[in-house]
Structure 1
Amino acid sequence: MDRRARCHVICLRGEASVKLSRRKACTALSPAGVTHEWRGHIRTLVVAALSTVPPSSAAPAVVPPPAPAQLRWEPCGSQGAEGAALEVPLDWSRPDGETITVAVTRLRAADPAQRIGTLFFNPGGPGNAARPWVRDRAIELFPAALRDRFDIVGVDPRGTGDSRPLIACDKPTAELNGGRYPATRAEYDRLIAYNRSFAEECRRATGPLIDHVDTVSSARDFDAVRQALGEQRVSWLGLSYGTVLTATYAELFPERVRAAVLDGPLDRSIGSRALASDDAAAAEDAFGLFADWCESEPGCALYGKDVRAEYGSLLDRAPLQALGHPEGVSADQIGFGTYAKLIFRSAWSSLAEDLAAASTDASAFAAAGARCPAYRVIACHDMPTGDVGYAEFSARLAEVRRLAPVFGGYVEGWDIQAGCLGWPIESANPWGPIRVTGTPPLLVVAGTHDPATPLHWGEGVASQIDGSELLVWDGVGHTAFLNHPPTVDRAVDYLITGRV
């Protein structure tokens, strides 16, 4: 098999995984609920710049590979990208032990004479692979100014995409018929039993990797990639959960950061209860804006109707009939399917059409609500629910419903809290603030009406990064890079010049 043929096999794995995830309704969400279906709703993406040099004295004593590894690049995709794989330690505290591989994809700078360096990109998740974005969509997603000046590099985080081995589990990550919203002690016990069964099945299918897919381990993988690329410093663009990865890298390796954009930040200091309640309040706000727009816009499929009442009626009447789905569509699927499009302002017309059709055919929502195994396992490492008894868990659910009386609390923050309840695998990276010092100024970007990562999360993240600047954009949607071109232009200028 020649070099091009070998790479073609690698690329096809990524395409197959996307098809599989769609077939299994694996929506690969960002911390706020971002799905791959946003492709049709995205204008452009950008990322932030991070750099590298020897490990910070504040970083734990973990040794990277002793010498820069050689990346064997193969042509990949139709847009000029190239792919490779890099061996890294399974357990970074044992660098000479068992290894795994992470998939790396690069689109070289179009203007080598003006090249600034490497730009790492992470699209969020947790669990989203970067390879399809860089390999297949770079020209559409990344502004020409970035493609000219940077080698854009995507790394599929350990256990995801084309990295090997994969986090694997055949059992659905959640029961779609109200299982995440227990109304009785028996239902609460059933949820815990389900989560434990899911985790145990994933351990059997995944093996020892399952204990080492936290974000700290992934950040160290990225630094191994930096070293293999021969870069002293790198640049980053992190979206949604990608902001956690970006900030973790900057905390561990501050002297290796040139610049970084953290767009749609998740604040890891807030804990699991606020994760759910803040997310619910943000989604309720955005749904209210959607309803107001729809009721006043003649082009909306629900124009002239009480959108809030229509949505509530669908939830109350679930399960709804759906062509090709004899089991029907549950309230969970309607709610999470609505959330998946609510977070992109450009998807609101499509969302209204789906809701208008749902009374007779709710098949547009049939694929919503499930999660990829990698999403659940990584989230429970980084955002554990902890030891929450029935009374406290019931109080948290009541709080979510109070904050989202119309939308209903069908948000990713609650899904993570419910899905990690009783999780038997010890968290490798539990809740706590990220403290970043010693970097150049980093740019934190947050929106006034982000349905997934509210503005005050951005304020919290900015307060944990010494010398950072907070750029606030006024509008609706999850991340500026997927919703607000003027802010994208400002972030691109920052990435190129390094000036906030």
Structure 2
Amino acid sequence: MRRRVPAAVAAVALSLASCSGEPDESDATGVRWGSCQGVTDLSAPPVPPERLARLSFSCGRLTVPLDRTRPAAGTFVLQLIRATTGHDLDATRPIVLLVPGGPASSGVDNHAFLVGRLSDRLLAEFDVVGFDPRGVKHSNPIRCEHVKRPATLPDVSTDAGYAAAARVVRTFTEECLTSLGDRASLFGTTAAAADIDAIRAALGQTKLTFVGGSYGAKLGAEYARLYPGAIRAGVLDAPTDPQTSAVVTAEHQVKGFEDSLDEFIAWCLDRSCPRLTDVRAFIAALVAEADRSPIRSGRPQGDEPMRGSEVLDAVASSLYDVDRWPDLAAGLIEADDGDSGTLWDLRDASGNDPDDTTESDGRFVINCTDSGAAPTEAEIRRLAAHFKKSYPTFGVWGTWQLFGCSFWTAPKHTLPVPVAEAAPPLMVIGTIHDPATPYAGAVSMTRVLGNGSTLITWEGFAHAAFTRDPCIDALVDAYLISLSLPSDGTRCAA
């Protein structure tokens, strides 16, 4: 198992030593704020020390009902984190809530990194609050028995491949359901949206200002559907298409990664990347080699040898951000020479620990609770054959998503289309070359909301746009601070 703090970020540790918040301060509504020591590591985010030195972080907890339809069922405790700048903690100060992605990414562990990327203008106007949704990391985390993917991903379109993959997914699902018991149906997006409104009320905010990216945009849209009158301003950055099924969403994502790999290939050819004259063939050969003999790491941090599926994980993670592309080119060559260290770093580049299974477990349970009807075996095999033919690098890798919740038997709370006609106009952001949530999702989300929301387009190469581009950031800041929405269709160049 690997986990390390990159050397480039170790220098910020001392600057954060005094940024853990004052102990035992309470806001007017009873949330007790105290030190973050023992909750999350504030020394790790790769943010300039001089910026984080101006911030103070406090952590607090909020108790919410386990099941709002059954008060006797008990409670959850949500973990919150709050960043302030230039003043003492003031419960009357307006806040902006950062709604985490994933699903099941920790908004607490990622908070310092995200706040460190916000503008001074925004931080002067708001305190910034993050949280872990129910079932995520510091908020009663979901834990299932972990069943590891096989070293070589099976071809699901074949009899043997389907049987092998189904066996793994069925075993994992059954063990997960056993671990959760009667709580299995309580972690969906609709329940998390109700928790957000509890956070709003507990923080004394009559109207909520929020930013949600990726899954956080889906959760924010569900909040707008349920609580349209409780919103002051909301940003939905990089949403998925709310009108598609899980299998269609899976194909959109696989196609998005394939298209982004095309962009990487063009970038690489333009720069004459050494030895990468045929990138797809190079990756395919590297994956096959890693399946035959996992690639050792030359780093001293205890990396495990890398398998073929993990090579593809690393490539996919690298496509989330064009700034990682030079490292991807170098990492592929390094791995071909027998050292997987750089590819491991790229696989871990999201800031979350891929080996912390509470995130993957939480993602699975939340998605299954939200899901509609599962595809049949015939549909899975037909789509797997289509993926394999149409998406040469990520097709077989992506077929695991097709199983999804095929063996999930707990009650579902299928997520409805988020029509929010009574909500104020929101800002929806789509990125033209987003590998994980393709641009069409933002177009569809803007239309579905039905409340005059504004679509902003970034012509960039990354997953999500806010805090990546000065033009986008200026538009978001103006909206969050003064409710000034640009005209629908506004575009920012890459």
Displacement of 1:140 after TM fit? Answer: 1.9
| 1:75 maps to 2:35 | yes
**Structure 1 pair 80–377 and aligned structure 2 pair: CA distance change class (3 A):** same
Instruction: Please name the residue that 2:22 is paired with.
Output: none
Q: Normalised by the size of structure 2, how large is the TM-score?
A: 0.80
Aligned-partner SS, 2:116: helix
Aligned-partner SS, 2:166: helix
**Structure 1 pair 482–310 and aligned structure 2 pair: CA distance change class (3 A):** farther
Displacement of 1:175 after TM fit? Answer: 3.6
Q: Letter of the aligned partner of 1:87 in structure 2? A: T
Range with greater deviation from structure 2 (184-193 or 225-234): 184-193
Range with greater deviation from structure 2 (119-128 or 102-111): 102-111
8 Å contact kept, 1:448–1:454: yes
| 1:343 maps to 2:315 | no
Q: Letter of the aligned partner of 2:147 in structure 1? A: P
Q: Letter of the aligned partner of 1:167 in structure 2? A: I
Displacement of 1:156 after TM fit? Answer: 0.5
**Structure 1 pair 416–426 and aligned structure 2 pair: CA distance change class (3 A):** farther
| 1:305 maps to 2:305 | no
Aligned-partner SS, 1:107: strand
Gaps of 5+ in 1: 1-19, 26-35, 41-67
8 Å contact kept, 1:130–1:155: yes
Displacement of 1:495 after TM fit? Answer: 1.1
* Pairing partner for 1:171 from 140, 146, 149: 146
Instruction: Please name the residue that 2:244 is paired with.
Output: 270
8 Å contact kept, 2:240–2:441: yes
Gaps of 5+ in 2: 10-27, 43-54, 348-353, 486-494
Displacement of 1:137 after TM fit? Answer: 2.8
Aligned-partner SS, 1:237: strand
| 1:86 maps to 2:86 | no
Aligned-partner SS, 1:332: helix
Displacement of 1:194 after TM fit? Answer: 2.4
Instruction: Please name the residue that 2:296 is paired with.
Output: 323
Measure the CA separation in 2 of the matches of 1:238 and 1:102.
18
Instruction: Please name the residue that 2:366 is paired with.
Output: 378
8 Å contact kept, 1:196–1:424: no
Aligned-partner SS, 2:336: coil
8 Å contact kept, 1:238–1:262: yes
Displacement of 1:202 after TM fit? Answer: 2.4
Instruction: Please name the residue that 1:228 is paired with.
Output: 202
Aligned-partner SS, 2:80: strand
Listed as ranges, the matches of 1:73-472 within 5 Å are 73-76=33-36, 79-108=55-84, 110=86, 117-134=94-111, 136-164=112-140, 166-172=141-147, 174-179=149-154, 181-298=155-272, 300=273, 302=274, 305-319=277-291, 320-323=293-296, 328-361=305-338, 363-364=340-341, 365=343, 372-383=360-371, 386-408=373-395, 410-411=397-398, 414-430=399-415, 432-465=416-449, 466-472=451-457
Displacement of 1:316 after TM fit? Answer: 3.6
Aligned-partner SS, 1:152: strand
Displacement of 1:240 after TM fit? Answer: 0.5
**Structure 1 pair 469–409 and aligned structure 2 pair: CA distance change class (3 A):** farther
8 Å contact kept, 1:380–1:416: no
8 Å contact kept, 1:322–1:366: no
**Residue by residue, what CA displacement relative to the aligned partner does 1:215-263 show, whole Å, maximum 9, x if unpaired?**
1111111111111111111111101010011001111000001111111
8 Å contact kept, 2:375–2:403: no
8 Å contact kept, 2:233–2:424: yes
Aligned-partner SS, 1:219: helix
Displacement of 1:443 after TM fit? Answer: 0.4
Instruction: Please name the residue that 1:33 is paired with.
Output: none
Q: How many residues align?
A: 431
Instruction: Please name the residue that 1:480 is paired with.
Output: 465
Measure the CA separation in 2 of the matches of 1:116 and 1:448.
36
**Residue by residue, what CA displacement relative to the aligned partner does 1:21-70 show, whole Å, maximum 9, x if unpaired?**
x65x9xxxxxxxxxx99x98xxxxxxxxxxxxxxxxxxxxxxxxxxx962
Displacement of 1:398 after TM fit? Answer: 2.2
8 Å contact kept, 1:295–1:306: no
Displacement of 1:209 after TM fit? Answer: 3.0
Displacement of 1:355 after TM fit? Answer: 0.9
Measure the CA separation in 2 of the matches of 1:303 and 1:488.
38
Aligned-partner SS, 1:81: strand
Measure the CA separation in 1 of the matches of 2:237 and 2:344.
30
Instruction: Please name the residue that 1:16 is paired with.
Output: none
Measure the CA separation in 1 of the matches of 2:295 and 2:288.
16
Q: Letter of the aligned partner of 2:244 in structure 1? A: I
Q: Letter of the aligned partner of 2:162 in structure 1? A: Y
Instruction: Please name the residue that 1:10 is paired with.
Output: none
> Structure with the greater relative contact order (CA < 8 A, sep ≥ 6): 1 or 2?
1
